[in-house]
Structure 1
Amino acid sequence: MLPLGKCAMDSIDERILGLLRTNARMPVSEIARTVGLSAAPVGRRIERLESEGVIRGYVTLVSDAAVGELEAFTEIRLAGDVDTREIEGIARQVPEVQQYYTIAGDPDALLRFRVRNVEHLQQVVNAIRRTGIVAGTKTLIVMSSWDRAQPFPSEGAHDKHT
C-alpha cells in the first residue's frame, strides 16, 4: 500500500517529471523521444500525473531583476497560541505574498514576497506586523538566486557589473 498522498510512479514517470521540471514547455514528442516511448503513452502519463495532483500546474519563471522587482523572505513568529493555519489568511490578504510555508522550530512561518522596492517591502512587512497575530519578523532580501528549473549562471556572470 502506498503512503497517503503518494501516487504510483515508475522510472519513466520520474524521467518525464524531471524533463518537465526543467522545461514545462518541452513538446510531448521530445519527451517521448528522450524516455523511449511514443508520444501517445507519454501524453497519457502526463495527463494521469496532472489528474492525480502530482503535476499541479505550469508556471512562467520571471527574472525579478529584469522587471525591476525585489524578492524577499520574511520569517514570522506568531503571538501566543495563534494557530499556524492563520498564516494562510495573511497570505491571501497580501498580494505581494508569493508563497508561504509553516515550518517546524523557530520561526513559525516563512513568507516569500515580490515587491517593487525596499520601501514597498517595508510597507508590506509593517502591514503584516499590524495584523495582531504576529509577534515578530525577520526579513531577508534576495541578492541573487538559482533554482533547478534554470541553467547555472555562466562563470563570472555575477561579476559583470563590477
Structure 2
Amino acid sequence: MRIDRLDADLIELLTDSPMLPVMECARRLGVARGTVSSRLARLHEAGVIRGIIPRIEPAGFGYTLVAFCQVEIIQRDGHVRVSSALEDTIPEIVDMYTVTGSSDLQLRVVARTANDLQDIFDRINRVPGVARTSSSFALHEHFQGRTLPLVNACANSAASLDKTVQND
C-alpha cells in the first residue's frame, strides 16, 4: 500500500493522541471528516494500523527492569507449543519472536527487581520444551516502536514518485 503525506500526518496525529476523535483529526489536518474516516478504514484494512489503543508503559507501574532472553527449545516440542506455554504462564513477557541464529525465541521481559527477574527466568526454564536460556539486561532504552520515521519516508517516497511521473 502506498502511504501519502495525508496518511502519514494522520498516523502521526493518532500516534501522539490515540483517542483523538475523527472530527478533531479532520480539523487539525484541514480535511473533511469523511476523508479521515475513509483513510482510517483503508489504513486498517491494509494492516498499516492494527488498532487505536493507549501505549502501556510497564515502568509506570513499577516494572523498570528490561531484559532480553534468548530461548533454545527442544525441537520436537515445536515453536508454537513452547511459545503458547510461555505466553500463557509468564505475564512479564511483553514481546516474543521466533528468530534465526543460535536461539529459537527472543523474549523481552520486564521486572520490578533483580530478584523478580531471576524468578521470571526460572519460570521460563521450567516451561516444557525449553532446553536452555541466556539473557542480557537493557541498560538504557533509546527508542521503542519507532515507526513514524518509516511512515514519513514512505510518504516522501510516494510524493517523489508522483512528481517524477508528472514530469515524464
Q: Normalized against structure 2, the TM-score is what?
A: 0.68
Q: For residue 95 of structure 1, what is the aligned residue in structure 2?
A: 91
Tell which has more relative contact order, 1 or 2 (C-alpha 8 A, sep 6+). Answer: 2
The one of 125, 133, 149 equivalent to 2:129 is 133
| In structure 2, C-alpha distance between the alignment counterparts of 1:22 and 1:107, rounded to whole Å | 35
Match of 1:59 in 2: 54
| Identical columns (%) | 27
Q: What is the aligned counterpart of 1:16 among 10, 32, 55?
A: 10
For 1:101 and 1:9, how far apart are their aligned partners in 2? 27
- Deviation at 1:29? 4.5
SS of 1:144 mapped into structure 2: coil
The one of 78, 84, 90 equivalent to 1:83 is: 78
Q: Could you list the runs of 4 or more consecutive aligned residues of structure 1 that deviate by over 6 angstroms after TM superposition? A: none
SS in 1 for 2:50: coil
2:33 corresponds, among 35, 39, 48, to 39
Partner of 1:71: 66
Aligned partners of 2:121, 2:95: CA distance in 1, in Å? 15
Structure 2 gaps of 5+ residues are 149-168
Q: How many residues align?
A: 142
Q: Which amino acid aligns with 1:78?
A: I
Deviation at 1:109, TM superposition (A): 0.9
| Pair member with larger Rg | 2
Distance 1:115 1:55 in 2: 29
RMSD: 2.7
Name the structure where helix makes up a greater proportion of residues.
2
> Does the CA-based 8 Å contact 1:23-1:149 persist in structure 2?
no
